[in-house]
Structures are given as C-alpha cells and as structure tokens.
Amino acid sequence: MDNEYIISLVEQGKRLDGRKFDQHREISVETHISKNSEGSARCKIGDTEVLVGVKMDVGTPYHDSPDEGSIVVTTELSPIASPDFELGPPGVEATEIARIVDRGIRESKAVDFKKLCITSGEKCWIFFIDIYPINDDGNLIDASALGALAALKNTRFAKLENNKVVFGDFTDKKVELEKTPITFTFVKIKNSILLDPHTREEKAAGARLSVAVHNGKIHAMQKGGDKGFTESEIEMMIDIAIKKEKDLKKVIEKAK
C-alpha cells in the first residue's frame, strides 16, 4: 500500500519530503565522538545516523603484499536502529554495506597501505573500521561511507611498544587521507532515478546503484535491487555523482 503511494508521488515528480530527485537530505558530520577509539565520527543524512569508529592493531601482512597494511570494515546492523533488524551476526545486508565501504576506500587508495607497514614482511597496521547505524531512515550505504571517511580523517596512530599496541595510548601522528572518495546511492522507482533514498523509497524501489567517485573518476560501483538499469540511466547517475562530489567533499573538509 505504502509502496503504491510512494510510486504515485514519483510519477507526479514528487517525493515525500519535497526534495528534488537529485537532492540530498541535510548532511552533517561530527568527529571525536568516542574517546577510546583511534578515530571516530557520526554521520547524519536526514534522520539516518551512523557511528563509525577506527581501532588499530598490529597484524601480519599478506605474503603477496609484504610492505602493506590493510583495513577490515565491519557493519553491525543492530536492532537499535530499526524494527527490521534482528540480533545476530552480520547478515547479507550488513556484509554488503561493509564491502561497498571497503571498496570505496581500498580501490581509490584513500589510505596508502604502504604507510601502514611497520616491518616489511613481518608486522603491519590493520585498521578496523566498524560501522554502527543508530537510526536507519534510508541510505545507510552513503552515511556509512561518509562516516568512515570522516573517522579516518581524524584517526591518530596508536602507540607501539616492542611491536605491540599499548591500548589506550595514542600518538599525535595522524593518518593521512590521500583521497576522499564520496559514495552516492540512487534508487529507481518506476522509471525515475532518485538520489539518497529514505527508507520508504528504498522499499518501493526496483533497483539501486551506489557509485564512489573522487575527482571525477569512478572507483567503485555496486548495483542492488531486483530490477535492472538501462545504460542511459547509469550514465545519468554517474553525471550526478560527479557533479555533486564537490559539495560533499566540503562536508568532509569541515569535519576536523
């Protein structure tokens, strides 16, 4: 019933909250929200709210990249955020969000993994980026990706003693973000493309596409949803993402 209502609105060129089809809800980013983490951030897109924390530990590099550290992204879809989530280990939805965020950071080389090397072939830093949605009002993907970026931006390295982390002790050395890839998620309802869907639009949507861009280049994409896109729709979504990149970069820059 509700889906039909959303669809009829879209057919009239309207959205529930009055936004234009290519308009975001209000976005805000706040950092340093959790003291014990090496880095943290809260990202809000409309009423969707996500907390992201970065913790570090020492690990062994993969043998095919002995001079590099790595990141591990996890999403916990706790029932605190939505009546639709259940307790339990990360399911498909949580896994997908984590992997999309991971790809955006990894493929754009936003963090230079070589700078995470401690001792070549033996020890390296592993960044654990953990994403906790607090309220799901749609578009957890973009809120998570933005939150992760903001958290990384204010992350300081943990203290290392004898190659072991001294938990609770931080250095002043900050993580440098080489790039700031921004993720844009669109949904397709009937034949219209909408940017930044809220929950009711997500439920009424047939297909979904997330695109991570940095300086006009595409670094990651993920299509979701039961229906498909045409080539021209894909081109249109990329154009919007590239156009709006600057606006969202400003949000990240403001967050210190």
Partner 1 sequence: MAYSKRKDGRKFDELRKISAQVGIIKRADGSAMFQIGDTIAIAAVYGPRELHPRFLQNPEKAVLRCNYDMASFSVTERKKPGPSRRSVEISLVTEKALASVLDLELFPNTVIDVFIQIIQANAGTRCAGISAAAMALAHAGIPMRDMVAAVSVGKVGDKIVIDLDKHEEDFEEGATDIPIALTARNKEVTLLQLDGEVTKDELMQAIKLARKGCEEIHSVQVQALKEVYKEDKDG
Contact set with partner 1 (CB under 8 A): 92, 95-96, 98-99, 103, 106-108, 206-207, 209, 216-231, 234-235, 238-239, 242
Task: Report which of 125, 128, 123, 126 is spatially closest to residue 66, judged by C-alpha positions.
Answer: 123
Q: Considering the complex, state which of residue 17 and residue 235 has its C-beta at the smaller distance from partner 1.
A: 235
CB of 224 to partner 1, least distance (A): 6
CB of 247 to partner 1, least distance (A): 18
Q: Considering the complex, state which of residue 122 and residue 239 has its C-beta at the smaller distance from partner 1.
A: 239
Is 116 strand, coil or helix?
Answer: helix
CB of 4 to partner 1, least distance (A): 13
Any alpha helices (H) in 42-174, and if so which ranges? 92-107, 140-153
What residue type is 109 in one-letter code?
Answer: K
Residues 6+ apart with CB under 8 A from 58: 118, 123, 124, 125, 126, 160, 163, 164, 165
Q: Considering the complex, state which of residue 78 and residue 95 has its C-beta at the smaller distance from partner 1.
A: 95
Task: Report which of 125, 75, 123 is spatially closest to residue 102, judged by C-alpha positions.
Answer: 75
Q: How far is CA 185 from CA 4, 18, 118, 222, in A?
A: 22, 18, 36, 9
Q: Considering the complex, state which of residue 161 and residue 226 has its C-beta at the smaller distance from partner 1.
A: 226
Residue 207 and residue 227 in contact, taking contact as beta carbons nearer than 8 Å: yes
CB of 195 to partner 1, least distance (A): 17
Q: Considering the complex, state which of residue 17 and residue 239 has its C-beta at the smaller distance from partner 1.
A: 239
Residue 7 and residue 233 in contact, taking contact as beta carbons nearer than 8 Å: no
